[in-house]
């Protein structure tokens, strides 16, 4: 190659670089959510047709694992013309919820794709915040039967699909393999082992759970309630929370929360507090979601690497029960990039995205086949255990209703009063019954 041709090539590479940088900047300047503002953009659209780089904004809660970054890196590599900008929302699902409601009710276009807690799709669909996904699902031939049915159902409302299952959560029980010989199988065994083992290997606490007044308290309570055979609402959508079973469950919760093997400030504990204390090696047992396995084995953050295992939660009179949690992906109804947004939703909820989030983030896939994948099975023996698939399938959902936030508030207030000793378990159950009935009747 002679000098002149080399020079021309150099000029070409530089101008291409400048052109691409200009396109990227344009995406950034518009907050990633504009496609048609200003004449410059329109000019680009004509020239670059559908390959024009676009930036979408993806809002999600706090992720203490490397999973989100890894999924986005893989997506961007596969889709060089779509850039994903992350927007971090609060770790507390209730606070995130309220911020989304504020944004979406004013038809903001700022966010394109967002993570939705399994308890939101019905409400968000009804409020017209979300884009229906059926046409995309059909167009790309997505096999919804490859997912756990409960996770698909959580994203359905009025017969249409509003959210794609991203990962599922079921409450799990963590224990320290360097301290515990046989993990407890009942709440009473937990209480006696926690008392006995607290203090070993430098631990301060026997047990950690989520008892603050927020959504996580509801999931913990549902586990106690279902493990004693109680229910909040039944199959006919009747409120049935005031039962001897629920009362017994609340009493057991009061016993655990009031014990001296939990932190003094357990009533401020959410997932983050649990995770921080746990990976510092402060407790023998903990209840959390599957992602904490990944943090437990994170060499940089954890002091208990390779000393942790997961098991089913302890049982009450009826058996062991896990609350159904998890996160879905939805598209803002007013997104200006619905096609690019869908490409991202499809990737993150598809086999590649879910595998990354399982391996890098310890999250439980919603695609059944991934449980046969050796790398997913390596995350924890629980993922490799067919019984765990049962747990996921039979996890107990929270009431599915567009007024879920009201139901949750009632439970949060009444349960917190029971845990602080302001009222008895009987009073809590009766108050929940009365207030929920009134809310549902409105």
**Of residues 222 and 283, the one with the C-beta less far from ligand GLC:** 222
Among 123, 215, 223, 414, binds ligand GLC (CB under 6 A): 215
Which residue has tokens 């096999």?
143
Give strand ranges (E) for 45-202. 54-60, 82-88, 113-117, 156-157, 160-161, 164-170, 172-176
For residue 200, the minimal CB distance to ligand GLC (Å) is 29
Residues 6+ apart with CB under 8 A from 400: 119, 122, 154
Per CB under 6 A, does 289 bind ligand GLC? yes
Q: Which helix (H) or strand (E) holds 324?
A: strand 324-331
Instruction: State phi, psi for 105 to the nearest 5 degrees.
Output: -75, -15
Burial of residue 335 (number of CB atoms within 10 Å: 0-12, 13-18, 19+): buried
Q: Which helix (H) or strand (E) holds 327?
A: strand 324-331
Among 30, 93, 151, 357, binds ligand GLC (CB under 6 A): 93
Q: How far apart are CA 4 and CA 73, in angstroms?
A: 38
Per CB under 6 A, does 166 bind ligand GLC? no
Among 57, 67, 71, 118, binds ligand GLC (CB under 6 A): 118
Instruction: State phi, psi for 182 to the nearest 5 degrees.
Output: -125, 120
Name the segment binding ligand GLC (CB under 6 A); options: 156-164, 252-260, 319-327, 358-366: 319-327
Among 27, 216, 263, 316, binds ligand GLC (CB under 6 A): 216
Per CB under 6 A, does 96 bind ligand GLC? no
For residue 74, the minimal CB distance to ligand GLC (Å) is 22
Per CB under 6 A, does 275 bind ligand GLC? no
Per CB under 6 A, does 117 bind ligand GLC? yes
Q: How far apart are CA 344 and CA 84, in angstroms?
A: 8
**Of residues 76 and 406, the one with the C-beta less far from ligand GLC:** 406
DSSP for 372-395, written as a single string:
G-HHHHTT-HHHH-HHHHHHHHHP
For residue 239, the minimal CB distance to ligand GLC (Å) is 20
**Of residues 214 and 261, the one with the C-beta less far from ligand GLC:** 214
Name the segment binding ligand GLC (CB under 6 A); options: 113-121, 295-303, 332-340, 432-440: 113-121
CA 244 to chain centre: 31
Q: Are 309 and 292 in contact (CB under 8 A)?
A: no
* Count of residues of this chain found to bind ligand GLC when the rule CB under 6 A is applied: 13
Q: Which residues pair with 72 in a beta bridge?
A: none
Among 327, 334, 344, 347, binds ligand GLC (CB under 6 A): 327
Among 112, 123, 169, 414, binds ligand GLC (CB under 6 A): 169
**Of residues 26 and 215, the one with the C-beta less far from ligand GLC:** 215
Q: Catalog residues that contact ligand GLC under the rule CB under 6 A.
A: 93, 117-119, 169, 215-216, 219, 271, 289, 325-327
């Amino acid at each position: 190659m002679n000098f002149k041709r080399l020079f021309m090539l150099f000029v070409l590479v530089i101008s291409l670089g400048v052109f691409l940088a200009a396109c990227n900047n344009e995406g950034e300047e518009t907050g990633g959510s504009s496609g048609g503002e200003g004449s410059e953009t329109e000019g680009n659209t004509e020239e670059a047709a559908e390959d024009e780089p676009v930036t979408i904004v993806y809002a999600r809660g706090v992720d203490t694992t490397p999973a989100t970054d890894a999924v986005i890196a893989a997506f961007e590599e596969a889709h060089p013309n779509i850039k994903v900008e992350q927007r971090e929302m609060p770790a507390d699902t209730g606070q995130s919820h309220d911020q989304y409601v504020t944004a979406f009710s004013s038809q903001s276009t700022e966010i394109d794709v967002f993570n939705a807690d399994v308890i939101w799709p019905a409400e968000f669909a009804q409020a017209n915040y979300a884009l229906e996904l059926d046409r995309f699902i059909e167009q790309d031939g997505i096999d919804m039967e490859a997912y756990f049915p409960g996770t698909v159902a959580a994203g359905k409302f009025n017969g249409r699909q509003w959210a794609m299952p991203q990962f599922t959560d079921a409450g799990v029980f963590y224990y320290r393999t360097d301290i515990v010989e046989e993990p407890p199988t009942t709440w009473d065994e937990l209480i006696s082992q926690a008392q006995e083992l607290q203090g070993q290997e430098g631990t301060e606490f026997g047990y950690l759970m989520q008892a603050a007044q927020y959504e996580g308290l509801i999931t913990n309570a549902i586990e106690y309630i279902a493990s004693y055979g109680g229910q909040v609402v039944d199959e006919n959508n009747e409120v049935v929370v005031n039962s001897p079973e629920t009362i017994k469950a609340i009493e057991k919760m009061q016993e655990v929360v009031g014990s001296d093997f939990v932190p003094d400030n357990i009533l401020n504990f959410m997932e983050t507090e649990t995770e921080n204390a746990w990976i510092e090696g402060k407790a023998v047992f903990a209840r959390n979601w599957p992602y904490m396995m990944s943090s437990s084995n994170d060499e940089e953050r954890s002091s208990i690497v390779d000393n942790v295992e997961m098991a089913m939660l302890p049982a009450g009179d009826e058996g062991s029960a896990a609350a159904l949690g998890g996160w879905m992906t939805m598209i803002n109804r007013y997104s200006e990039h619905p096609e690019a947004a869908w490409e991202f939703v499809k990737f993150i909820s598809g086999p590649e995205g879910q595998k990354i989030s399982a391996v890098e983030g310890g999250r439980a896939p919603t695609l059944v086949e991934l449980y046969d994948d050796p790398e997913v099975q390596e995350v924890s023996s629980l993922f490799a255990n067919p019984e765990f698939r049962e747990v996921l399938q039979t996890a107990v959902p929270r009431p599915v209703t567009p007024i879920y936030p009201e139901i949750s508030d009632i439970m949060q207030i009444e349960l917190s009063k029971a845990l602080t000793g302001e009222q008895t378990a009987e009073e809590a159950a009766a108050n929940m019954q009365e207030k929920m009935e009134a809310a549902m009747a409105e």
